[in-house]
Amino acid sequence: QDTDGDDRFGLGGEGDRDSKPDTDTPEVQPSVDNTPKCLNKALAGMSSRWKNWWIRGILTLTMISGFFLIIYMGPLPLMLMVHLAIQIKCFQEIITIGYRVYHSYELPWFRTLSWYFLLCVNYFFYGETVAENFGNLVQRDEPLQFLVRYHRFISFALYLSGFCMFVLSLVKKHYRLQFYMFAWTHVTLLIVVSQSHLVIQNLFEGLIWFIVPISTVICNDITAYICGFFFGRTPLIKLSPKKTWEGFIGGFFSTVLFGFIFAYLLAQYNYFVCPVEYSESNSFLIDCEPSDLFVLQDYTLPSVLQTVLRWKTVKLYPFQIHSIALSSFASLIGPFGGFFASGFKRAFKIKDFADTIPGHGGIMDRFDCQYLVATFVHVYLTSFIRGPNPSKVLQQVLVLQPEQQLSIFNTLKSHLTETGMIPPAIRGP
Amino acid sequence: MTELRHRGPGEDDVLKQQQQQQQQESEVRTDGEAPSDSEIKPDPGVPSTVDDTPEVLNKALSGMSSRWKNWWVRGILTLAMISFFFIIIYLGPMVLMMIVLCVQIKCFHEIIMIGYSVYHSYHLPWFRTLSWYFLLCVNYFFYGETVTDYFSALVQREEPLRILSKYHRFISFTLYLTGFCMFVLSLVKKHYRLQFYMFGWTHVTLLIVVTQSHLIIHNLFEGMIWFIVPISCVICNDIMAYMFGFFFGRTPLIKLSPKKTWEGFIGGFFATVVFGLLLSYVMAGWRYFVCPVEFNNDSNRFEVDCEPSDLFQLQDYTLPSVLQSLIGWETVRIYPFQIHSVALSAFASLIGPFGGFFASGFKRAFKIKDFANTIPGHGGIMDRFDCQYLMATFVNVYIGSFIRGPNPSRVMQQLLALRLDQQLHIFNTLRAHLIDKGLLSANQEATAA
């Protein structure tokens, strides 16, 4: 009898109780075949296994082309919209699983509260992004300035209302259930929402910081699968019996190579390399002098490689060296995000997070490896690449109270005078 | 520290007592009877309700009936805790920080123990280690940010500290990631769901306990008064609401806590606001409480000395005519801080109790009477601190929004880290902006390049 994971009062999950679809959770359907009819007809002749393989392949190609199409067409607002849509869908998938696990679909208030908390946290994060990156817009609009200055207070007040509503909604027989859903919602918010905002921060740093990590994770998925398919023998981890060491290592080397080449291709275009800025004329501007990271430089090869390749120096973008770090992380540590999701699915006895994408499962199934990578890229950027961004610092200064601006001005003036950047001024009274 | 000294018998003794209890209970219970929901089944390996009252008190109160004895124990412990609070304030910011850290660790421990007992997961491989490891990581991250902010000169001087602070986020992330990978590798076949539950439990506890204890420390650095007044208001509200409820209480407030009444709630509100006004008046006169805590680089100690800001200088306020006719005064001299204290007290008495209701709901949900038995008569440390947490976040957000604005010192640091030509560019833009707003007169800056 599988009571593991049930708390001592017997509440905690499906256990072996239901292997049939629940009658009291009508909206959540077990695996539904979402494959569009046209595909079904076209593949009608093949055996079930090949058919599955073809559906997966076609959907993979569709998703990848969709990804590149959006980037190409990209006015940024479109990208942000898509990003927001993906985040909301992931949140919804995980919360739906929570409802099913705890049979809490009809719990009073709770659906409203979950979405309300999602709204609050998104409001908080988007507000911080706006304050940092859209300083021009904020300076011009009086109501926006007010919202930005008191942003934390407003977000906190919104969150607190949700918290108080939760406390007032506690119903006598459902306390534990409600606390579980509360915690489930918060952990989901922590994982899904915070990391999606890190993705946006990376994007504002330059589209290349958004594209290369995502592409390397996709590449690692595909090449590990292919290497495992052809060479796979030793299993990697008990959690995911289909993964093999050969796939893992083969995927690592191919991903590093892919990242290296892909970075070389992208680093040539200003469109990818420049930070995204919001200009005075109400539009996004991606134009700049590429930083040193994206200017070809000569590197002398170590003597070992010299004898092998018979070149003395090679012209590389410094960014390609960083891309090696990113690809290594994506192939060595990124899979742990996938194992975490596999463990989660086994723990709650679900096959896929949802059935949104035929052949692949839900959106979370595709994005599970991405999350750790997004955080890593952000931390990497702030630690190793980016010193403080001058325009951002300026925005922050302009948001301060006038007395503080004045004191900063004076400190800066004395500092600049000391270092000789401005001639000593005749200080007025 | 009262709570730590009176921890009572060690865990091993408790286990033995516990097993004895369980044996007795299982003898009494007939076979096959499943534990009903009203019975709290003691869990092997988890310390359960033990009477922690020290021997001394027990002897002194042995004559009285059980109800009065309980009342006296609570009262004495309340006085002991309050005096302890004043002693550590006297001892200074460094000691305060240490105490906040200890309280935080104890609260974390209490909540995690509840999680273990709820899920029978005390012997789950690795998990105790991992929970403490995550606590260490998150604390390292937060303390590092604090140290970088407030001890910047010290950090710049010492080479290893400088490297640690420059790559701080990366190091913290790496530490956390190691814990995450250890968790994934520790997933054991039959215990998946349990392990995920404990993982979730740990993270939510970290979110609640650790982040807010660091907000308390931020408030402390802003000035001890921002630490003392909120905590005192919450304590006062607890006591006053209890008194008012005791004497006048009739209409129940909320089903979650049947002992709370509307009379206690409203009486507590007014009493706390008055108390807050008086306490801030008393404290605002002393520099020790009012000045931001700063680390003096030369003497390597904390210094609390400064010119008090406008907030802490007596000013005249004309009373609105309604009050004038009532009291007969035209103007009154108060500190502007006292007006802020009204906001703080109001929050502490109106919204703070929701933190208490949340904790009550939590205790009912998991069918525990108290979080732990650290403090005789009161329960665990979490029981005392449940209302404080919302308060700490509120004070921090309040200071950030209305008093201080975004932290200018951090912006300054970032400015100084830029290249000189970028600094010059910012300098010119800022000058134009300030002249625009009329804060600078144009002729003062005639010779700027």
pLDDT digits (tens, 9 = 90+) for A283-292: 677 777 777 7
Cα separation, B447 vs B449, in Å, equals 6
Closest chain A residue by Cα to residue B36? A9
Q: Does A303 touch chain B (CB under 8 A)?
A: no
Cα B233 off chain centre by = 13
Which region among B52-61, B310-319, B345-354, B359-368 has the lowest average model confidence (pLDDT)?
B52-61
Interface residue of A147, A371, A409 to substitute, partner B, most B CBs within 10 Å: A409
Q: Minimal Cα–Cα distance from A340 to chain B, Å?
A: 6
Kindly report the nearest CA distance between residue A423 and chain B, in angstroms.
Answer: 7
| Residue, of A5 and B315, whose pLDDT is higher | B315
User: Measuring CA to CA, how many Å separate B358 from each of B355, B361, B362, B397?
Assistant: 5, 5, 6, 21
* Most confident of the following: A10-24, A326-340, A348-362: A326-340
- Return the pLDDT at A281: 62
**And the tokens for B12?**
């091993």
* β-sheet bridge partners, residue A244: A235
Q: What tokens does A377 get?
A: 């890229």
**Inter-residue contact B173 to A375 (CB < 8 Å):** yes
Using the predicted structure, report yes or no on whether residue A151 has a pLDDT greater than 70.
yes
* 8 Å CB contact of B405 and A149: yes
Contact A4 B191 (CB under 8 A): yes
The larger pLDDT score, comparing residue A295 to residue B153, is at A295
Q: How confident is the model at residue A5 (pLDDT cuts 50, 70, 90)?
A: low
Contact A45, A39 (CB under 8 A): no
User: What does the pLDDT read at residue A66?
Assistant: 77
Which whole number is the average pLDDT over A76-100? 80
B377: left (phi over 0), alpha (psi -120 to 50) or beta: left
**Residue length of chain A:** 429
Q: Nearest 5°: CA angle at A403, between A401 and A409?
A: 105
CB A49 within 8 A of CB A124: no
Token pair of B149, please? 């902010």
B401 vs A149: CB contact, 8 Å cut-off? Answer: yes
Closest Cα to residue B7, out of B380, B328, B334, B341? B380
Supply the mean pLDDT for chain B: 76
In contact, B301 and B315? CB cutoff 8 Å: no
Report how far apart the first and last C-alpha atoms of chain B are (Å, whole number): 60
Closest CA to B224 of B149, B303, B298, B151: B303
Pick among A102, A132, A136, A179 to test the B interface (most B CBs inside 10 A): A179
Q: pTM to 2 decimals? A: 0.77
pLDDT of res. B10 = 38
Beta-ladder partners of B295: B302
Query: What pLDDT is recorded for position B337?
Result: 87
Q: What does the DSSP assignment read for B283-294?
A: HTT-HHHHSPPE
The string over B39-77, giving b where at least 16 C-beta atoms fall within 10 Å of a residue's C-beta and e elsewhere, is eebbbeebbbbeebbeeebeeebeeeeeeebeeebeebb
Which of B41, B357, B401 is opposite residue A153, by nearest beta carbon?
B401
Bridge partners of B261, per DSSP, are B252
Q: How far apart are CA A424 and CA A166, in angstroms?
A: 60
Residue pair A186/A175 in contact (Cβ under 8 Å)? The answer is no
Local structure of B41: helix, strand or coil: coil
Contact call for A183 and B434, based on CB within 8 A: no
The DSSP line for A236-293 is EETTEEEEEHHHHHHHHHHHHHHHHHHHHHHTT-HHHHSPPEE-TTSSEE------GG
Query: Phi, psi at residue B249, to the nearest 5°?
Result: -70, 130
The 3-state DSSP class for residue A297 equals strand
CA separation, residue B151 to residues A149, B139, B147, B398 (Å) = 27, 17, 5, 23
Beta bridge partners, A65, equal none
| Most confident residue range from A75-84, A136-145, B365-374, B417-426 | B365-374
Three-state secondary structure string covering B70-84: HHHHHHHHHHHHHHH
Outline where B249-351 has alpha helix (H): 262-283, 287-290, 321-327, 336-350
What is the number of residues in chain B? 449
pLDDT tens for B294-349 read: 776 666 667 777 777 777 888 777 777 777 777 777 777 888 888 899 999 999 99
CA nearest B351: which of A167, A120, A117?
A: A167
Distance of CA A170 to the CA centre of its chain: 33
- What's the CA gap between A390 and B411, in Å, rounded? 11
Distances (CA, A) of A271 to A83, B58, B80: 19, 77, 66
Q: Please state the rounded mean pLDDT for residues B428-432.
A: 81
The answer to whether the beta carbons of residues A131 and A125 sit under 8 Å apart is no
d(CA B174, CA A373): 12
Element of type H or E holding A235:
strand A235-237
3-state helix, strand, coil in chain A (%, to 5): 65, 5, 30
Tokens of A398: 């302009």
- pLDDT > 70: percent of chain A: 76
Give one DSSP letter per residue of A153-174, joined into a string.
HHHHHHHHHHHHHHHHT--GGG
For the record, the structure tokens of A418 come out as: 């000391």
Report the distance separating Cα A370 and Cα A383, nearest Å: 20
Least trusted range by pLDDT, from A255-259, A413-417, B173-177: A413-417
Does residue A4 belong to the interface with chain B, where contact is any CB pair within 8 Å?
Answer: yes
B3 neighbors B51 (Cβ within 8 angstroms): no
Nearest CB to B447; choose among A12, A238, A423 = A423
How many CB atoms are closer than 10 A to CB B370? 15
Strand ranges, E, within B304-419: 315-318, 331-334
Contact indicator for B150, B222 with CB cutoff of 8 Å: no
Asked if B270 reaches chain A (Cβ–Cβ under 8 Å), the answer is no
**A109 touching B, CB under 8 A?**
no
| A188/B47 Cα distance (integer angstroms) | 32
DSSP A93-155: HHHHHHHHHHT-TT-TTHHHHHHHHHHHHHHHHHHHHHHHH-HHHHHH-HHHHHHHHTHHHHH
User: What distances in angstroms separate CA A87 from CA A337, A371, B284, one per listed residue?
Assistant: 17, 11, 48
- Kindly give, in sequence order, each residue whose CB lies less than 8 Å from that of residue B370, ignoring residues fewer than 6 positions away: B49, B363, B378, B379, B380, B383
pLDDT category at B57 given cuts 50, 70, 90 is: low
Contact A399 B415 (CB under 8 A): no
Distance of CA B265 to the CA centre of its chain: 22
User: Which position has the higher pLDDT, A252 or B186?
Assistant: A252
Q: Which residues in chain B are contacts of A179 at CB distance < 8 A?
A: 361-362, 365-366
Closest CA to B418 of A416, A217, A363, A253: A416
At B8 the pLDDT is 36
Q: Tell me the helix, strand and coil percentages in chain B, rounded to 5.
A: 70, 5, 25
Please check whether residue B128 touches A, CB under 8 A.
Answer: no
Contact pairs from chain A to chain B, CB under 8 Å: 218
* Contact yes or no for A179 and B361 at CB 8 A: yes
- Asked casually if ipTM beats, i.e. exceeds, 0.95, the reply is no
pLDDT in tens, B237-265: 988 888 888 888 888 888 888 888 898 89
Q: Are B258 and B250 in contact (CB under 8 A)?
A: no
Specify whether the CB–CB gap between B231 and B212 falls below 8 A. Answer: no
Q: What is the mean pLDDT of residues B78-106?
A: 84
Which position has the higher pLDDT, A314 or A356?
A: A314
Q: In whole numbers, what is the pLDDT of chain A averaged over residues? A: 77
Q: Is the model's pLDDT at A50 over the cut of 50?
A: yes
The two three-digit tokens of residue A183, written as one number: 């915690």
Say if the Cβ atoms of B184 and A404 lie within 8 Å. no
Across A73-80, average pLDDT:
69
> Minimal Cα distance from A372: which residue of B?
B177
List alpha helices for A26-109, DSSP H.
Answer: 37-42, 48-73, 76-102
Find residue B294's DSSP bridge partners: B303
Farthest CA pair distance, chain A: 90
Contacts of B194 in chain A (CB under 8 A): 4-5
